């Protein structure tokens, strides 16, 4: 139960860091378009996770966790574009890249464990 609470908080902190990064973006069209994409996907991870922990079945849980994993993959893509287009420096995004990878690993393990229990 503590692990669930920790992950709830961690995904919320991730969303807040995404919001902070978005708020600091330049007001150029490119930055705002990419920023809105990462804002949407990055803040969705925690919502998907919370829906998952309220799931009524293992299949529903896995579906929500895999939805969160898709959002993390998309978030990583938008972060890469922000970095590679030189809108945001690699240094300023390193924490978000790191957390994206760590959350991906954690949620992949969660999904895998539940799938193994089923089979």
Q: Give the pLDDT confidence of 46-65 residue by residue, as tens digits.
A: 999 999 999 999 999 999 99
pLDDT at 119: 55
pLDDT score of 26 more than 60: yes
Task: Identify which has the larger pLDDT, 109 or 5.
Answer: 109
Q: Where are the domains of the chain?
A: 2-118
Name the token pair of 45: 């991870």
The answer regarding whether domain 2-118 maps to CATH 3.40.50.1360 reads no
In which band, very low, low, confident or very high, does the pLDDT at 5 lie, cut at 50, 70 and 90? confident
pLDDT at 1: 63
pLDDT at 31: 98
- Tokens 């994409």 -> residue: 37
**Closest by Cα among 60, 65, 64, 49 to 4:** 49
Name the token pair of 17: 């860091």
The dihedral of CA 109, 110, 112, 113: what is its sign? positive
User: Does pTM surpass 0.85?
Assistant: yes
Label each residue of 16-76 as H, E or C: HHHHHHHHCCCCCHHHHHHHHHHHHHHHHHHHHHHHHHCCCCHHHHHHHHHHHHHHHHHHH
pLDDT at 117: 82
């Amino acid at each position: 139960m503590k692990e669930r609470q920790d992950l709830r908080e961690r995904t919320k902190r991730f969303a807040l860091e995404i919001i902070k990064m978005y708020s600091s973006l330049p007001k150029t069209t490119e930055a705002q378009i990419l920023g809105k994409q990462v804002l949407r996907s990055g803040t969705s991870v925690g919502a998907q996770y919370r829906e998952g922990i309220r799931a009524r079945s293992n299949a529903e849980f896995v579906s929500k966790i895999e939805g969160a994993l898709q959002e993390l993959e998309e978030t990583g893509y938008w972060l890469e574009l922000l970095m590679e287009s030189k809108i945001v420096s690699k240094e300023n995004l390193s924490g978000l890249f790191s957390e994206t990878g760590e959350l991906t690993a954690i949620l992949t393990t969660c999904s895998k464990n539940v799938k193994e229990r089923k089979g």
